[in-house]
Amino acid sequence: MLRVSNIRTAVPMRKTVAALAAKKIRCRVQDIEEVRIVRRSVDARRKPKVYIVFTADIIVRQEARIWRGCRDNKDIKMVTEAPAIAAARGNLPLRQRPIVVGTGPAGLAAAFMLAQYGFAPLVLERGQDVETRTACVEKFRHEGILCDHTNVQFGEGGAGTFSDGKLTTRVNHPLIRNILHILVKAGAPEEILYTYNPHVGTDRLRQVVKNLRHMIMEAGGDVRFASCVTDIICNDRGQVQSVVVNHKEHYDTSVLLLGIGHSARDTYEMLHRHGMAMVFKPFAVGVRIEHEQHVIDRGQYGNTASALGLEPASYALAYHRPDGRSCYSFCMCPGGEVVAAASEAGGVVTNGMSVYARNSGAANSALVVNVTERDIRGTDPLRGIAFQRRYEQLAYAAGGHNYKAPAQTVGDFLRIAAVSPGIHTYMPGVTWTDLSAILPAFVTQTLQEALPYFERKIKGFAAPQVVLTGVETRTSAPVRLLRDENRMSVGTAGLYPIGEGAGYAGGIMSAFLDGMETALTIIRKFKPLEVQV
């Protein structure tokens, strides 16, 4: 088929992609049998003119003849279908089934692959299934009652379930396409296959993770909720032998995939007690900033998204100081809300989520500052957790000891104007306070420098009424569980740390990919013998 890139059209669109592509490849539109959009992006660099740019695979009658007529055009290539995943099979016999810990993107991906290849994995998740979890999250949002094992960080689907479900990733890997197809099969919208900034939304993600669970179980896997791995037992040669669940049940295995996410602080502590190889990992800390969505739309498109027939606009901003300190936007959620993302009693944590329609009218994003070794000196690999916890607890106290989040207007934070606060969506509510009293001084200072700089990029970004809510501490894992070239924990045979919690991924897609690649490593090494349940 022909891959046609740079198919441009001004918005609002007046012609179909087939008609636009037909013109580029010089054929009649009725000769086009199928159009598969590979990529769709918005180009607003020449505001007020805004364009949509497509890349599409075109299946056309008399392909050879048409190709001869357009092959000099650099926007047109002949391509073949991407091959399906076909892993070589290993030979080493397994005496027990592999165990996957965690049902975040990494754990689900690993379990899905292992199940497809006949390994019948046992999947253990500390939190509850997605329906029970939704009720727990709602209780926290409305009543400020936190469940420490089932919340925005823990439970079926992992940390991304109550998110914007952005599937953007900087990782360029051939398996990314396969992952998108798996997600579509599990109920994600088809357009994720081609949009430049694909997103699913928390409403549809909840169904996707549930469907993935059913797909794993239909292929022979077993998924158990309310099953927290509280210990790992190794033999004297450092080979994993079993796991302990909820301090009482034992399950034997010699292959253990650990997809615990970045918030399983008790599990990190258990691993550290056992001397598992781990090091401090840099992360970032800051606040959430919120705007009326039309402010961002006008800044990015020069008009409102609805007037142009486009999706609500997003942004990515960065400010770099010469000393290596940076402030950058992170996990930007158009049309979303700021979400209470604590998982530990006595701490306040912010994050962002949206539904598929992204229609809340509010845009939010984390604005975070990098935290490195020079900010937290020492030798304890878990010192980043202590640092995060300290600021989460300060935020809890400043909020009023009831999970309300401390918040402040930009006018107040920059000491430039006292105005009434603009849009803010955090539930169970905010307490107005001085954020500089609960943030590390270097974070406050960098944010105060960055905000006026960002105002120059998007007008209204740092307007005095804009609300900042804090604290945003769970941006990525503050620890890395060291792996060898076979993806195994250094010094612990059979233990495979995966995903964000291992420090090898950041975001839904890269965690999914990491889980999948680790499962493929296992599939290439072992053969699934009779499963002992």
For the bound state, the minimum distance from the C-beta of residue 404 to ligand FAD, rounded and expressed in Å, comes to 18
Q: For residues 399 and 411, which CB has a smaller minimum distance to ligand FAD in the complex?
A: 399
For the bound state, the minimum distance from the C-beta of residue 158 to ligand FAD, rounded and expressed in Å, comes to 2
Alpha carbon distance 39, 56 (integer Å): 7
CB atoms inside a 10 Å sphere around CB 265: 18
- Binding letters toward ligand FAD, positions 205-244, x by CB under 6 A: -----------------------xx---------------
Identify the three-state secondary structure at position 201.
coil
CA distances from 187 to 206, 322, 435, 436 (A): 10, 46, 41, 43
CB atoms inside a 10 Å sphere around CB 168: 16
The amino acid at 43: D
180 counts as binding ligand FAD under rule CB under 6 A:
no
For the bound state, the minimum distance from the C-beta of residue 458 to ligand FAD, rounded and expressed in Å, comes to 20
Residue of 165, 299, 336, 347 interacting with ligand FAD (CB under 6 A): 165
Q: What is the DSSP letter of 489?
A: B
CB atoms inside a 10 Å sphere around CB 234: 19
Alpha carbon distance 275, 257 (integer Å): 17
Residue of 18, 27, 99, 159 interacting with ligand FAD (CB under 6 A): 159
Residue of 7, 32, 103, 405 interacting with ligand FAD (CB under 6 A): 103
DSSP, residue by residue, 89-130 = P--EE-SS--EEE--SHHHHHHHHHHHHTT---EEE-SS--H
For the bound state, the minimum distance from the C-beta of residue 164 to ligand FAD, rounded and expressed in Å, comes to 4
102 counts as binding ligand FAD under rule CB under 6 A:
yes
Residue of 57, 164, 311, 344 interacting with ligand FAD (CB under 6 A): 164
160 counts as binding ligand FAD under rule CB under 6 A:
yes
For the bound state, the minimum distance from the C-beta of residue 163 to ligand FAD, rounded and expressed in Å, comes to 3
Identify the three-state secondary structure at position 367.
strand
Residue of 25, 44, 124, 394 interacting with ligand FAD (CB under 6 A): 124
261 counts as binding ligand FAD under rule CB under 6 A:
yes
Query: 471-510: which residues touch ligand FAD (CB under 6 A)?
Result: 499-501, 505-509
For the bound state, the minimum distance from the C-beta of residue 353 to ligand FAD, rounded and expressed in Å, comes to 5
Alpha carbon distance 143, 85 (integer Å): 46
For the bound state, the minimum distance from the C-beta of residue 504 to ligand FAD, rounded and expressed in Å, comes to 9
Start-to-end CA span in the chain (Å): 47
Alpha carbon distance 367, 466 (integer Å): 13
- Binding letters toward ligand FAD, positions 405-444, x by CB under 6 A: ----------------------------------------
Residue of 55, 128, 134, 163 interacting with ligand FAD (CB under 6 A): 163
Q: What are phi and psi of 425, to 5 degrees?
A: -125, -5
- Is residue 140 within 8 Å of residue 146, measured between CB atoms? yes
The dihedral region occupied by 116, where left means phi > 0, alpha psi between -120 and 50, and beta the remainder, is alpha
Q: For residues 163 and 408, which CB has a smaller minimum distance to ligand FAD in the complex?
A: 163
Helices (H), strands (E): how many in the chain? 14, 25
286 counts as binding ligand FAD under rule CB under 6 A:
no
Task: Count how many Cα atoms sit within 13 Å of the Cα of residue 22 in the half-sphere of its side chain.
Answer: 14
- Residue position matching structure tokens 């926007």: 75
Q: For residues 251 and 526, which CB has a smaller minimum distance to ligand FAD in the complex?
A: 251
For the bound state, the minimum distance from the C-beta of residue 467 to ligand FAD, rounded and expressed in Å, comes to 18
Sheet arrangement for strand 240-245: 229-234, 240-245, 249-252
121 counts as binding ligand FAD under rule CB under 6 A:
no
351 counts as binding ligand FAD under rule CB under 6 A:
yes
Q: For residues 21 and 481, which CB has a smaller minimum distance to ligand FAD in the complex?
A: 481
**Interface ranges with ligand FAD (CB under 6 A):** 101-107, 124-127, 152-155, 158-160, 162-166, 228-229, 259-261, 264, 267, 331, 339, 341, 351-353, 499-501, 505-509, 511
